[in-house]
Amino acid sequence: MSRQILSTLIGKTVKQAARLRGGGSALPGLVIEKIDPGFIARTLAQVPHGVVVISGTNGKTTTTKIVVELLEAAGLKVFTNRTGSNFSRGVAAALLGEVDMRGRLDADIAVLELDEAWAVKFVQLVPPRYSLLLNVMRDQLDRFGEIDTAAGFLAKIAQATTDTVVLNRDDPRIYRLHQKTAADVAFFGTTDQLLKLMPTDDALKTGRAQANQTAPADVLLADIDGQTATFHIDNAKHAVRMRLNGVYNLLNAAAALSLVRQIMGEKAELTTLLGALSDVAPAFGRGETIVIDGTPIELILVKNPSGFRLSLLSFADGTADTMIAINDNYADGRDVSWLWDVDVSRLEQVAVVSGVRAHDMALRLEYDDITPEIIEPDLAAALEKLLAHHPRQPKHIYCTYTAMMRLRKLLSIKTDVEPIR
């Protein structure tokens, strides 16, 4: 029996046992990493069109989802780590769910969302054919420290990429990576006016947001009118009615379009891609809407100052009851001092704060003269209190990763929630 078959059988057995026990989705991948470190590289080597890596501070999960759906619309079979578990163990676990009993993967291309730090280790084993690097923001200071550390991680991805790197021209740290790679480079970007709505980390500090006009964008986000985004591609403008929520997700869409154009080359049919783009729904917990008894509840992942700020710009319109749920587990980042850098002034009221750091969040709000009506650290109890607060009014829940996953599970008891495959 080959090592590939043996590892697959063991991994699938662990995966089934973990599912029966309600365990974590990455556990089988952790086991495989221990018993067969070469499993990921060996399995992905079967994919004829190679591996695509998507990384950056914000937007990885949504952008990966867009890329996958566009490539599928173009006729490719795509393997991806759909659960958003973006460490190598998450990739291994996702592979175990897709390979047959002999460890064979039926896919044309692999599109992987990877954590910035873990991606460095991954690309040493599996050099990507294509990569998309979105942005660099202050995030999880206990893991990354200074912002330039994260930029250094992304430089390693660019250096390891063999064919084409797609870069955000309007993020100075990302733009400079074109000097670090021997691969071809394509850029995506937006305008001065729109960049003010989704500023880079430097722009947040200086108050000046300016698009990089020196680098021609393969795909430019040119205008936003409600749910309609206008993209400038090949000297023509294309208006697309979007299902995605949030202005930042429209820039993610521009990034995804550019990447898919590089992958498909002359086979890229723009009409097909734009049609597929209009059908892409929000990724789980990223502006995802779950309806209970006619009341829409939007789950909005927040994990750093810029992401929280952009979410408030997109969603805080005063029409919904607001809950903020902050945990400090490893997947959230242990250091939550970033909460003090979030401009919460757009919040007119907050009905509930919850999570392990509920009292920290309440204190932060008080400094902007916002007094939460309810402080309830227990997520299950907090959700019930939110639902009982103005029962028919829409709800917005801003939440860190583990709080979001717990809330999705609680909501799935009450209504149908799309499973994370």
Structure tokens at 411: 């909501």
Instruction: With beta carbons less than 8 A apart as the criterion, state whether 397 and 320 touch.
Output: no
Structure tokens at 179: 């000097």
pLDDT surpasses 90 at 159: yes
Query: Above pLDDT 90, what percent of the chain?
Result: 63
CA distance 307 to 325: 15
Q: Which of 212, 231, 123 is nearest to 174 (CA)?
A: 212
Residue 332's CB is within 10 A of a number of other CB atoms, namely 22
| Whether residues 315 and 184 fall in one domain | no
- Domain termination residue (choose one: 278, 309, 339): 278
Q: Which of 210, 253, 248 is nearest to 232 (CA)?
A: 253
Is there a domain that residue 421 lies in?
Answer: no
163-180 pLDDT tens trace: 999 999 999 999 999 999
State residue 155's pLDDT score: 96
| Whether residues 232 and 342 fall in one domain | no
40-52 pLDDT tens trace: 999 999 999 999 9
Domain that holds residue 293: 286-414
| Whether residues 249 and 302 fall in one domain | no
| Whether residues 250 and 293 fall in one domain | no
Higher pLDDT, 282 or 210: 282
| Whether residues 269 and 379 fall in one domain | no
Burial class of residue 285 (count of CB atoms within 10 Å of its CB; 0-12, 13-18, 19+): buried
| Whether residues 210 and 306 fall in one domain | no
CA distance 74 to 275: 11
- Domain termination residue (choose one: 244, 278, 312): 278
Residue 356's CB is within 10 A of a number of other CB atoms, namely 18
State residue 137's pLDDT score: 82
Q: Which of 141, 133, 140 is nearest to 175 (CA)?
A: 133
Residue 34's CB is within 10 A of a number of other CB atoms, namely 9
Q: How many residues are given for the chain?
A: 421
Query: Above pLDDT 70, what percent of the chain?
Result: 94
State residue 346's pLDDT score: 87
What CATH number should be reported for the domain holding residue 67? 3.40.1190.10
Question: Is residue 168 classed as helix, strand or coil in its secondary structure?
Answer: strand
| Whether residues 319 and 220 fall in one domain | no
CA distance 370 to 258: 41
The mean predicted confidence, pLDDT, of the chain is 90
| Helix/strand/coil percent split, the chain, to 5 | 45, 20, 40
State residue 396's pLDDT score: 95
State residue 83's pLDDT score: 67
- Domain termination residue (choose one: 249, 278, 307): 278
State residue 208's pLDDT score: 74
Report the domain count for the chain.
2
State residue 304's pLDDT score: 84
State residue 82's pLDDT score: 77
| Whether residues 273 and 294 fall in one domain | no
218-275 pLDDT tens trace: 999 999 998 999 999 999 999 999 999 888 899 999 999 999 999 999 899 999 999 9
Question: Is residue 109 classed as helix, strand or coil in its secondary structure?
Answer: strand
Segment 65-94 shows an average pLDDT of: 88
290-338 pLDDT tens trace: 999 999 999 999 988 888 988 888 787 778 999 999 999 988 888 888 8
State residue 333's pLDDT score: 82
pLDDT surpasses 70 at 94: yes
| Whether residues 296 and 404 fall in one domain | yes
pLDDT surpasses 90 at 89: no
CA distance 118 to 8: 23
109-144 pLDDT tens trace: 999 999 888 899 999 999 999 999 999 987 555 455
What amino acid occupies position 121?
K
Residue 117's contacts (CB-CB under 8 Å, 6 or more residues apart) are 143, 144, 150, 153
| Whether residues 117 and 60 fall in one domain | yes
Residue 25's CB is within 10 A of a number of other CB atoms, namely 22
CA distance 62 to 60: 6
Is there a domain that residue 128 lies in?
Answer: yes
| pLDDT band of 348, cuts 50, 70, 90 | confident
| Whether residues 274 and 290 fall in one domain | no
CA distance 130 to 185: 10
| pLDDT band of 84, cuts 50, 70, 90 | low
Q: Which of 52-56, 303-307, 361-365 has the lowest mean pLDDT?
A: 303-307
What CATH number should be reported for the domain holding residue 367? 3.90.190.20
- Give the largest Cα separation in the chain, rounded: 67
261-277 pLDDT tens trace: 999 998 999 999 999 99
